[in-house]
Amino acid sequence: MQEKLILIGNGMAGIRTLEELLKLEPERYQITVFGAEPHPNYNRIMLSPVLAGEKTLNDIILNDRDWYAENHIQLITGDPVVRIDRTRREVVTQSGASAHYDRLLLATGSNPFIIPIPGHDKQGVIGFRDIADVEAMLSAAQTHAKAVVIGGGLLGLEAANGLLKNGMDVTVVHLLDSLMERQLDKPASALLKTSLEERGLHFMMEAQTAEILGDERVTGVRFADGAELAADLVVMAVGIRPNIQLAQAAGIHCERGIVVNDTLQTFDPRVYAVGECVQHRQTCYGLVAPLFDQAKVAANHLANLGIARYEGSVTSTKLKVTGIDLFSVGDFNEAEGDETLVLQDPGAGVYKKLVLRDDKIKGAVLYGDTLDGAWYFQLMREGSSITDFRHTILFGQHDLGDAGHGDETRVAALGNEAEICGCNGVCKGEIVDAIVKKGLFTLEEVRAHTKASSSCGSCTGLVESILASTVGQGYTAAPSKKPLCGCTEYSHDEIIQAIKQHQLKDMDVVRQFCEWKTPDGCATCRPALNYYLLANWPGEYQDDAQSRFINERAHGNIQKDGTYSVVPRMFGGLCSPADLRAIADACEKYDVPEMKVTGGQRIDLFGVKKADLPAMWKDLSTAGLVSGHAYGKALRTVKTCAGKNWCRFGTQDSTGLGVQLEQMTWGSWMPHKFKMAVSGCPRNCAEATIKDFGVVCVDSGYELHVGGNGGIKVRVTDLLCKVETEQQVLEYSAAFIQKYREEARYLERTAPWVERVGLQYVKDALFDQTQREALHERFLYSQQFAQIDPWKERAEGAEKHEFEKIEIAA
């Protein structure tokens, strides 16, 4: 029989514990959750952005009601538990319902502290804790003008910022002489105050509130020195108190919070507690990171595994006011014997301070540039000595100035253990792992898989940088010496080698030879093998449509709604009125919702229904237009500039040369996309120096550049050589392409390929006349079989099944 588990408190810590528990022991308990609030579990942290109008309530729901249903959890909302009967093992709610438990989990959070001054119970005096408070503030903002926020800490400032954004005139009243004194030192606090003042907040420092004025509703605030301030809304944000009444009334030992041991057990062994209501080793926490640590441990014990211990947490702080970057951790007010490193750049609004003892970090305050917070935090937790890089530590982990990739390179340099998401305790290694193994491409996917950046969101930038640095390196599932995929132990290089050396010409044969563990391979290896065979045995190997990604199978880019985009080729970016007319006609005929000039100098027709593709292609092909392969690991575009024919600076016919290049190369399949450009002079209007193969015309000939790309990680080309004639340009480009086609790994673009094999290696091959000519020849040979317009073929009926649905009545 399943045991019964009851959770009191449908909040962040409690539900996280259940999530962890379900991962370990999904079947063990029959679970019931009681929540005082009428909502499913939401991200309380995000109340600040909701108040500021940057998010909606819907955005911040963490577990919707379906989640509870799917996990067979009974959820009772809007009905607080009012009594725990430990002898009968029963809880009783306000409405009189009761339920039995075998184990009980308390996660009742905390309550905002309301200073018990006269008038504190008037209408319009609230805390900042839940959705109801936010709703009250938002509605006050609609009908009233003046707000006073008591408390200049994290919560108070976020409330004040939100109310300000809602058009209220806001004054923050603070007892001490500097804001966020527990998280900031004085200089950082002063910077913060200045920038909040610039936004329009008012401050009254060193002011002690003595009374709330008004009849039924608040009209103002009086201070200890007699001064008064008018107010229609008073938000008290002076601290929180663990919510322990229920536990206390049930006789469970409490001090400031519900006292728990290292397994999150209270003095009653059947009762566990997690979250802000808890006091562990004399500490009560008010941030989610430690609560989530607790949740893991509590779940482990609820699952009867009994191996985890919670030993307390070190926390760091960030402020969620958009546009203000602030980070602090540890003990940042220096004591005797400490040393302080400070970097101050008032012009840029940057302030960084590290407090050191024995060359180890004790605390840090960062204002204006917080990227290295995670790194300092890690050095601090691990007690690392910073002696070796003490003189540069304030500049961050990595030198700046890396062509727009400051963040990314700095993140790339972080170790795998570096914590990225403080809320959920996710470190870099886990994120990278998830991206690589699960093929993640978007922030949302990373959030879904790792939970990084899914709580307060302040690490979003870091997560995006990791995504960029991980995905950007060639978009590949194939780092060196790693198996191609889970189906085999052979690496890309070993497979390429085997195909050449042993003349393997068929996918099944390759799989057999390279000891595949799966009969058909998978979505990663099949496209790779198909490419390798095609590139090595042109004319012999029969392309396998079912091993191609849908874009290459349907010869268009699949859109998020399942329609396709169509991009006809415009050689060298040139087009005629007739081309444009044909495109325009096709657009009208097939109801194309949007046309766009692409970044590749041609026209994209978006939103074409799959079934219309063949007919539309037929029309385009009749007008002489062929596929632009905008969807393929193939030759994409050859961009050109105006060149000698028109431009006053043009040195050669860049347009004509571009057209020739595209005519020679279109239709060829590549390990990855391949782009070219020809610029008529070093002004380089065609951006030839960030292309896979770029030509820059000069008076005396043509500079050839290789291995560049734009995209996620920009790489400027390397100069290959200079040649004198158009014929040489064609020969070198074909030879370069062929070398790349024969040797690079599938999904490795020229930039990472050139970096891996080295420019010299490429030069050695291309400068050797025999090799160059042979490569050139092999390329032209394979083009005989490649330059068949796939659109025309399909317009004439090939692969019909791909485009036609079978219709049935049902």
Partner 1 sequence: MNNWIPIAALHEIPQLGARVVKTDTQDIALFRTKNDQIFAVKDQCPHRQGPLSQGIVHENSVTCPLHNWKIDLTTGEAQGPDEGCVATYSTKVEEGMVYLALDAESGI
Ligand X SMILES: Cc1cc2nc3c(=O)[nH]c(=O)nc-3n(C[C@H](O)[C@H](O)[C@H](O)COP(=O)(O)OP(=O)(O)OC[C@H]3O[C@@H](n4cnc5c(N)ncnc54)[C@H](O)[C@@H]3O)c2cc1C
Residues forming contacts to partner 1 in the complex (CB under 8 A) are: 438-439, 441-442, 445, 449, 518-523, 526-527, 545-547, 549-551, 553-554, 558, 560, 562, 801, 805-810
Can residue 276 be called a binding residue for ligand X (CB under 6 A)?
A: yes
Residue closer to ligand SRM, measured from CB, 527 or 600: 600
Q: Shortest gap between Cβ of 179 and ligand SRM (angstroms)?
A: 43
139 vs 518 by CB, closer to partner 1? 518
Question: Residue 481 binds what, of ligand SRM, ligand X, partner 1, none (CB under 5 to 8 Å, by partner type)?
Answer: none
Q: Which stretch binds ligand SRM (CB under 6 A): 26-34, 449-457, 557-565, 696-704?
A: 557-565
For partner 1, the closer of residues 256 and 438 by Cβ is: 438
Chain residues 712-731 in contact with ligand SRM, contact rule CB under 6 A = 712
Please give the torsion angle defined by the CA atoms of residues 593, 595, 599 and 602, in that order, rounded to the nearest 10 degrees.
Answer: 140
Under the binding rule (CB under 6 A), the answer on residue 711 touching ligand SRM is: yes
Report, in Å, the least distance between residue 142 CB and ligand X: 20
- Helix (H), strand (E), coil (C) string for 408-421: HHHHHHCCCCCEEE
Cβ-based nearer residue to ligand X, 172 or 487? 172
CB 172 within 8 A of CB 202: yes
Three state DSSP letters for 736-801? HHHHHHHHCCCCCCHHHHHHHHCHHHHHHHHHCHHHHHHHHHHHHHHHHHHCCCHHHHHHCCCCHH
The site string for ligand SRM over 725-764 (x = CB under 6 A, - otherwise) reads ------------------------x---------------
Q: Minimum distance from CB of 614 to ligand SRM (Å)? A: 18
Q: Which does 526 bind (CB under 5 to 8 A by kind): ligand X, partner 1, ligand SRM, none?
A: partner 1
Contact 58, 51 (CB under 8 A): no
Residue in 5, 18, 21, 47 binding ligand X, rule: CB under 6 A: 47
CB-based contact 458:371 (threshold 8 Å):
no
Q: Tell me the residue number closest to ligand X, measured at CB.
A: 11
Any alpha helices (H) in 451-491, and if so which ranges? 460-472
Number of Cβ within a 10 Å radius of residue 382: 12
Of the ranges 199-207, 269-277, 335-343, 704-712, which one interacts with ligand SRM (CB under 6 A)? 704-712
- Taking the complex as a whole, the smallest distance from the CB of residue 558 to partner 1 amounts, in Å, to 6
Among 296, 526, 602, 741, binds ligand SRM (CB under 6 A): 602
Calculate the CA dihedral of residues 547, 549, 554, 560 and round it to 10 degrees: 150
How many other CB atoms sit within 10 Å of the CB of residue 269? 9
Do 32 and 73 contact (CB within 8 A), yes or no?
A: yes
- Look at residue 455 and give its three-state secondary structure: coil
Tell me: does residue 607 bind ligand SRM (CB under 6 A): no
Please give the Cα distance from 667 to 288 (Å, whole number): 54
| The residue type at 583 | I
CB within 8 Å of 392: residues ≥ 6 apart: 399
Name which of 449, 625, 526 is nearest 441 in CA terms.
449
- 633-652 residues in contact with ligand SRM (CB under 6 A) are 636-637
CA atoms of 20 and 291, how far apart (whole Å) = 12
* DSSP-assigned letters across all residues of 703-737: EEEES-B-SSS-BPPEEEEEESSHHHHHHHHHHHH
Residue carrying structure tokens 């006349």: 769
Partner from ligand SRM, ligand X, partner 1, none binding residue 630, C-beta < 5-8 Å depending on class: ligand SRM
User: What minimum distance in Å lies between the beta carbon of 19 and partner 1?
Assistant: 12
Q: Are 785 and 614 in contact (CB under 8 A)?
A: no
Residues 130-159 interacting with ligand X (rule: CB under 6 A): 155, 158
DSSP class of 689? G
SS3 631: coil
Q: Does 559 bind ligand SRM (CB under 6 A)?
A: yes
Sheet of 316-318: strand order equals 316-318, 326-330, 360-367, 350-357, 339-345
**Cα→Cα distances 307→46, 270, 302, Å:** 33, 17, 11
Q: What is the dihedral of CA 676, 679, 683, 684, to 10 degrees?
A: -10
Q: How far is the CB of 637 from ligand SRM (least distance, A)?
A: 5
Instruction: Kindly determine how many residues on this chain lie close enough to bind ligand SRM according to the rule CB under 6 A.
Output: 23
Q: Which of 100, 596, 722, 800 binds ligand SRM (CB under 6 A)?
A: 596
SS3 of 83, please? Answer: strand
Minimum distance from residue 677 beta carbon to ligand SRM (Å): 8
Q: In terms of CB distance, is 286 or 461 closer to ligand X?
A: 286
Q: Is 630 in the site for ligand SRM (CB under 6 A)?
A: yes
Give the residue, chosen from 4, 24, 25, 37, that forms a contact with ligand X under the rule CB under 6 A. Answer: 37
Pick the binder of ligand X from 12, 380, 418, 426 (CB under 6 A): 12
Closest alpha carbon to 323 in 56, 57, 52: 52
Q: How far is the CB of 430 from partner 1 (least distance, A)?
A: 12
Could you tell me the smallest distance in angstroms from the CB atom of residue 570 to ligand SRM?
8
Among 45, 179, 380, 730, binds ligand X (CB under 6 A): 45
Residue 246 contacts ligand X per CB under 6 A: yes
User: Which tokens hold the place of 206?
Assistant: 């060193």
Nearer to ligand SRM, 429 or 607 (CB): 607
CB closer to ligand SRM, 89 vs 602: 602
Of 602 and 739, CB closest to ligand SRM: 602
Residues in the chain, overall count: 810
Nearer to ligand X, 34 or 779 (CB): 34
Output the CA angle 747-693-465, nearest 5 degrees.
50
DSSP for residue 805: P
Q: How far apart are CA 395 and CA 376, in angstroms?
A: 12
Among 5, 20, 68, 109, binds ligand X (CB under 6 A): 109
Nearer to partner 1, 181 or 506 (CB): 506
Q: Which is nearer to ligand SRM, 18 or 603 (CB)?
A: 603
Closer CB to ligand SRM, 558 or 623, in the complex: 558
Window 179-208: residues binding ligand X (CB under 6 A): none
In order of 373, 484, 723, the CA distances from 418 in angstroms are 10, 28, 49
Which residues are at the interface with ligand SRM (CB under 6 A)?
A: 472, 475, 557, 559, 565, 567, 596, 598-600, 602, 604, 628, 630, 636-637, 673, 675, 709-712, 749
Which residues are at the interface with ligand X (CB under 6 A)?
A: 8-14, 34-37, 44-45, 47-48, 80-81, 107-109, 128-129, 155, 158, 243, 246, 275-276, 286-289, 291, 320, 423, 456
